[in-house]
Structure 1
């Protein structure tokens, strides 16, 4: 039942006016009845509510029919001109069907005959109430329609996605921006439940938001939801929701402006990820404002100080200098670098410099500092961000390495000068002795071979001392070409090479050849083969490099070698009691076959190989493979134990892995894996 119904009773009979007013107000407590003596007086009262806003507006008119000057129907016509929707009840003592018909045709709201009892006034009160309720409902409906139209206009004109839902959650209005957000045509959305386009969780969150709005003083609220698009992707939206009500406060639906916050949520996730990375990174980080005050730092930075992190934040950096943590020269370095970064003539975005730091345990440290400017605000400098690495240990290791390199260089100089000079003297003296004692040819040849062997040892020691595990620039190199160059540089005697690699690898070409030369020399010297009936297999252990093992035919020599030449080795040299016949039998033995082949991928597919191997068909290794790469380890009485050690050093300097084992079909096999292999079709692997 509506409250505050203002009724205007128009009747020329004062008694009727008084009774009608009193009876209506007694029948309904919400009725407020005013009276007028005539139609003209009633129009004045009606017009007065417009000119005097403080007076309550009239909600319904009850008028007599027969009145002097202006009857009820004429009064109705005048009222309709002012307010076509005003409830107007004709309450007359004299009437007829003709009057009733005319009144209805004139647009009267209701027609009622006066009576002698109070029942007629009860009926009159009900009809007044119904007429006012109907008018108010129609007015509210029209207002709701006007409001809906305003929303429709607003929705269609804004660039942000917007929608309007009815009380059941069905989409009644959507704009083009919302359709584009969903990737769906308007016809697919209008009339459908919003649940078709958002997740169940988002639907429940939205319903809860609207429910709380309807029961509170707030006019709007927001919630996030997931939007499913036609192409299967999901986007994140933020809806700013307003609850819609009618004139009586009844809930009629909701409207929302949607913001696509997918990019913002992605940035938030990235920011959170970066924050976790910063928290986990073992790098000291801190930020200074324009006044060189610490505004933020991480735990890694704070751990170097006696102060807690909360105490450090807000501390001017010069105070850390006063407390003895930093040298005062830090300020000059910082100022110079920041000025350089701010200068338009400098392209650098980051400054790098080193500072000395005294830790809380009074230990002197060296810090590598990287400084960047914070983004300028309106072109103004607002501060810097700093990343610090403690390079004290690295600097110490660097200095130690430099000292070791100096010692190695000194060692190399000693070897080169102090050992080669006596060797040269020995060679010269031996040549004189050979001229004086031509009958001592066999002994001289043996001494000459030994001197050449010592010279070879010096060469290998110099290579180890000067090169160690270092390599130069790495470039694409033909592995096949390097294999053949290395083979031609080694005294291979009557050994045979089988090269089964046709690929390009990334390596230091010179060091790669040195690696291959050492592998070939090791295979030729340690892998000689022959019939099991030959006695030399009992006398010469696999891997020995005795003078006898060097006794080869000159026709088998290929290229220069740092090894003693076959001409220098005594032809009848005997080890462990071997005879001249034994030596000749050793020369006649079939030469070793050395194979260079590719290491296939684990998957066994057509991808480029990941390395290569060098194998021979000799007796194989009779030692643990791990021992072979130790410096000085050899199974030969005259071996140096440097060859495979140098191989391992060169391989590790490239980032490769070298392993040794006996082949499946016998013989020794050395594998080089982890190689950067280039394939013209697929690029680096």
Structure 2
């Protein structure tokens, strides 16, 4: 058994003195716990003290933390310190437990010792914490030392198990090269027992030129050495091994570890690889799967002298293997190949993708002629592509080496088929890419750093209409006029320098001059380590025309806003002001008429304000950001004239919205609720899984009015403008929100705004 020097740490990179020490203090008196914690922290460094005021809490701390020591009082409610000790010992038999109590007696001390207490200390005035600190330090040191030794013992045990389970021969030798210890595999392989090998020179069981030198000379200044040699068994037979020698890094020893690995199979594998190397290169240069099959069959016949071999490819549509190629000898003797259904044993081999040999296959149901004696059949799956099948008429002619050669040939054929398949996929992907870039309506360019067009789509010729003028590849000069050519060059340079660029330029198209926006992104192409600029050019002439039209509309809206704000607002203000002066002089007989006039003034004022809001909203682009629904709702409520109404916000979450438009939406809904529900109404705002809602506890919306509340001019109030809820609908549409109007739990109106799918 190999003996390894135990490591000097716990496997965590820390010595016992460096480990995190946590001490649990348990006492039902909080003041004493605080004092004890403070005193011990002053006297013991690098130690964390955790307190618990009951046994229940102490158990919780013990289950959650890695505790190194427990200091517990004796007299505590519910359970005593001794009862706590007995419970601790069930799961932690070795954990230090110090009973620190004001009650002291020989009987208590005896019980504590019987229960397995680590130490027992009475609470006394003066110096008690100095003594307790010393006891804690000693207990923790001893406990951590025991834990370290336990871990080291476990590590050594696992290490011995690993060493003895390895298939390699392992030796421990001294500086003179004498064997000190060996593993079980070395004894088994060399056919010696342990006592016969110990003391022998390493050179007696490993022959190599390097072993002739002294071990320190072999190692030299290197940390380890590796070389090839031969293992010599008791009876003198030899086999090749790879030898690795490393000095054991331990201050108390001058020994070395030697690992000898059997490389017989590796040598044989290398030989077969060398024999098939030229064929493998030819296979990898094949341009089609059929060519791979032909080279594979030819190699098997000429180099491996396998007379009866064939290649079948899978037919996905019919779930069969279809014949592709076989040797002439196979066709002459066994007949022409036929399809092989993927069923039975063949299906099993195909599914497992592992070579298999079927012995004694000759039966009346076989696909071979009755007058031909085929003893065995070797099936070699070629990945997902097909199968190589070798028919054996005399199993004595095939050794293990021949089967290995056939396996290697099949492996090389599979790799070649995979590469050929990838190349076919690349060609297909190239065709797909060409079709894809020719499908898009945008212009597509791939430009190198010398401003040469490497790739372009058919849209370039279709748009410019001058394909016939191109000689060879088109150039940027063929596409852009001299006025914009400088901007294009600047954009290309910017794209290569910063990773992207955006340029507007005019192209003379078949429909006349058109403005295009070209967006470019730099692409590093790993195949040839070159960098290109991928550019898409989109015709923005219709967009610019639409933007010009929109600017004209905005100008008209702006003029309208000025007219509304001045030419209409001023007369309304004058009318409302003068009517307010004479309002008190109107007799009761005409009070109803006066109220109608006031309502008309309010309606005109609301109408003007809402029209202004609608006009401004149409001029502004929305800017989405994270908005606090709670904060914005309370800000809106301050504007609403509802002194007796209440606002309740049931969410502190943020939503994504344009702040100004969301504020307008909330103000309109709040005003609508107060107008129709009265000043004592409660408005509630909260969030949904995919949006938010606004509801009230008013009288609700009549069922026959529900489908018309967002119509322009619709209102049930004498002073309403009929535009407020239409503005709410427009704002929701600007944000792509869906609106669901329903009844609240209290019977009022509820507006739900959710993100559209």
TM score, norm. by length of structure 1 = 0.47
TM score, norm. by length of structure 2 = 0.43
Relative contact order, higher structure (CA 8 A, sep 6+): 1
